[in-house]
Amino acid sequence: MKLRYLAVVALAAVSTLAQAQSKPEDMIRLRQGGLQLLSRNVSILNSMAKGDVPYNKEVAMQKAEFVNTLAPEIFGAGFGTGSDKGLPTRAKPAVWAEGDNFKAAQEKLFAVLKKIQAGAGDQASLKAAMADVGGACKNCHDNFRDTSYH
């Protein structure tokens, strides 16, 4: 009985969360802001890896953890059904029409981000792990991001 009650409460909480992001313009804002934050934090990691800014183990590990939390959140909550329009967006219709390919592109990014997290505690490993991240961003942009807003 108690378990069943907890399950109902948990389900209600999950559906409230889902509804909180269900408006197209909210999803578009979420993904655009989220991707900017992802870009900023990956760029800082890249600068540290190259030594353009001083490598700091604590900051690198914190940022690597952050991007690994952030990226799945962007793709989980930012590209829902109906968010192909609502605000100016560069997301191509292919995001929704070719869902499996879009998912595969995400998985590629997540895999690189995991490698970055595994390597963040050491500058040389971080540098090695950064090698594929630009490609993972570009792969998705080439296929799923328009050159201009619509």
- Where on the chain is the footprint of ligand ASC (CB under 6 A)? 39, 43, 134, 137-138, 141
Rounded to the nearest whole angstrom, what is the least distance from the CB of residue 108 to ligand ASC in the complex? 13
Rounded to the nearest whole angstrom, what is the least distance from the CB of residue 45 to ligand ASC in the complex? 10
Task: Kindly tell me which of 88 and 134 has the beta carbon lying closer to ligand ASC.
Answer: 134
Q: Residue 91: which of 130, 19, 34, 133 has the closest Cα?
A: 34
d(C-alpha 14, C-alpha 16), whole Å: 5
d(C-alpha 84, C-alpha 24), whole Å: 8
Rounded to the nearest whole angstrom, what is the least distance from the CB of residue 137 to ligand ASC in the complex? 4
Task: Kindly tell me which of 72 and 134 has the beta carbon lying closer to ligand ASC.
Answer: 134
Task: Kindly tell me which of 23 and 108 has the beta carbon lying closer to ligand ASC.
Answer: 108
Task: Kindly tell me which of 40 and 57 has the beta carbon lying closer to ligand ASC.
Answer: 40
Task: Kindly tell me which of 22 and 128 has the beta carbon lying closer to ligand ASC.
Answer: 128
List CB contacts of 100: < 8 A, sequence separation 6 or more: none
Q: Residue 123: which of 52, 25, 19 has the closest Cα?
A: 52
What the block records as the tokens of 89 is 């967006």
d(C-alpha 88, C-alpha 24), whole Å: 11
Rounded to the nearest whole angstrom, what is the least distance from the CB of residue 69 to ligand ASC in the complex? 18
Rounded to the nearest whole angstrom, what is the least distance from the CB of residue 134 to ligand ASC in the complex? 5
Q: Residue 149: which of 60, 83, 87 has the closest Cα?
A: 87
